[in-house]
Amino acid sequence: MVFNGVHVWTADTNGAELRAAWVKTLDTIAARAPSIVVAGHMAPDAKTDLSGIEHTRAYLVAFEEELAKAKDSAELKAAMEARFPGLGMGIALDIGSKVATGEMKWG
């Protein structure tokens, strides 16, 4: 549900409606203003506050924007790396880009 300082695993949400529902859930969690948020996957120096929710939400919104413009997974991956440089867990972006563009089946 929440990632922080790493690429977000999108392969399991292979449609825009699933990613939109994820964003809505993140908004619901953020509205409760938790003081501690522990990401399921995070960089070693990531904080355990709302920044994980903010990161995941921003990433998912950007993913939709870039997916709409990308002609293939390589273009989507490059655009996301440009918007979110230096993130760990690159395999999540590799697979997620291929699944989102239909170049790979998942699940």
The pTM (predicted TM-score) of the whole model is: 0.96
- Containing structural domain, residue 7: 3-100
Over residues 18-72, the pLDDT tens digits come to: 999 999 999 999 999 999 999 999 999 999 999 999 999 999 999 999 999 999 9
Residue 33 lies in a domain: yes
Residue 84 vs residues 60, 63, 80: alpha-carbon distances, Å: 11, 10, 6
Residues 39, 24: Cα–Cα separation, whole Å:
17
Contacts of 90 (CB under 8 A, 6+ apart): 7
Number of domains in the chain: 1
